[in-house]
């Protein structure tokens, strides 16, 4: 049995999850307040992107 490829919205959301986890890890490791602010700004931008992707995935989803 062959695995079917993941739908594009799922793949995009998984990629964003990886980026969120990486940024969170960097935030936990940094002792530099300025870098912490930069990472928090990155996390805020990623959160907006995630919301956009979730909305896109809902629009693209076949009606159940």
Low-confidence ranges of the chain (pLDDT < 50): none
Can you tell me the distance from the alpha carbon of 41 to that of 39, in angstroms, rounded to the nearest whole number? 5
Residue 28 inside a domain? The answer is yes
Residue 3 inside a domain? The answer is no
Helix runs in the chain, H state only: 8-29, 33-60
- pLDDT for the residue numbered 29: 97
- pLDDT for the residue numbered 62: 72
pTM (2 d.p.) = 0.74
Residue 1 inside a domain? The answer is no
Q: Total domain count for the chain?
A: 1
Contacts with 1 (C-beta within 8 Å, 6 or more apart), sequence order: none
Residue 47 inside a domain? The answer is yes
Domain boundaries, position 46: 8-60
- pLDDT for the residue numbered 35: 97
Residue 2 inside a domain? The answer is no
Residue 14 inside a domain? The answer is yes
């Amino acid at each position: 049995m062959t695995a079917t490829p993941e739908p594009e919205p799922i793949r995009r959301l998984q990629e964003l999850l990886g980026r969120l986890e990486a940024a969170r890890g960097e935030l936990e490791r940094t002792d530099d307040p300025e870098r912490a602010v930069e990472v928090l700004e990155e996390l805020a931008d990623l959160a907006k992107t995630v919301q956009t992707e979730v909305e896109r995935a809902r629009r693209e989803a076949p009606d159940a």
